[in-house]
Amino acid sequence: MADDPFALFETWFAEAKASEPNDAEAMALATADAAGRPSVRMVLLKGHDERGFVFYTNLDSRKGAELAVNPHASLLFHWKSLRRQIRIEGPVSGVADGEADAYFASRSRDSRIGAWASDQSRPLQDRSTFEARVEAVRKRFGDGDIPRPPRWSGYRVTPQRIEYWSDRSARLHERRLFERAGAGWTEGLLYP
């Protein structure tokens, strides 16, 4: 039994990357608006360490607007092939500009163009409008560098709670809960 939730995450994540047929880094991200109304969507984990779990998005998207007024989130990894899931809860903060710039530069050219062309989460009259915006961005940057848009960056969820769930027969699942306690963690079990 690991007593370090990050070491356990590394082990489980490596196993998921080896066994999941698609997107082991896919995670459900739950946010809530100022009134507490929740919303959830799938995003991709783009970095993780002892500081937390990182994803990137348009800051003007619905999730960005919700995080601006309620900077707390939950993440859920569900790896069906392993019959495991991990739930993570904690406050959210923006990543440093240099970190966002470095990740943006690592994305494919088409993904960088799409980040400029999309008003993520806003109403779209028709697909051709978006495709025209993509072409306009292609022309704007030509073969040159495509910098990170000012409205695009990353968020880091700093875990306060991490729950590791393992499927067991007869629904007698194993649930291990790590909770932040100062600079360390406490560990316990939950009934299934």
What range defines the domain where residue 156 resides? 5-190
Structurally, the chain folds into a number of domains equal to 1
Contact (CB, 8 A) for 154 and 100 = yes
pTM comes to 0.94
Q: Which residues belong to the active site? A: 171
Asked if residue 2 has pLDDT above 80, the reply is no
pLDDT above 60 for 1: no
- pLDDT value of position 17: 96
pLDDT digits (tens, 9 = 90+) for 11-45: 999 999 999 989 999 999 999 999 999 999 999 99
Which residues make Cβ contacts (< 8 Å) with residue 50, sequence separation at least 6? Answer: 6
Tokens representing 24 are 């082991």
Return the pLDDT at 76. Answer: 98
Residue 152 belongs to domain with CATH number = 2.30.110.10
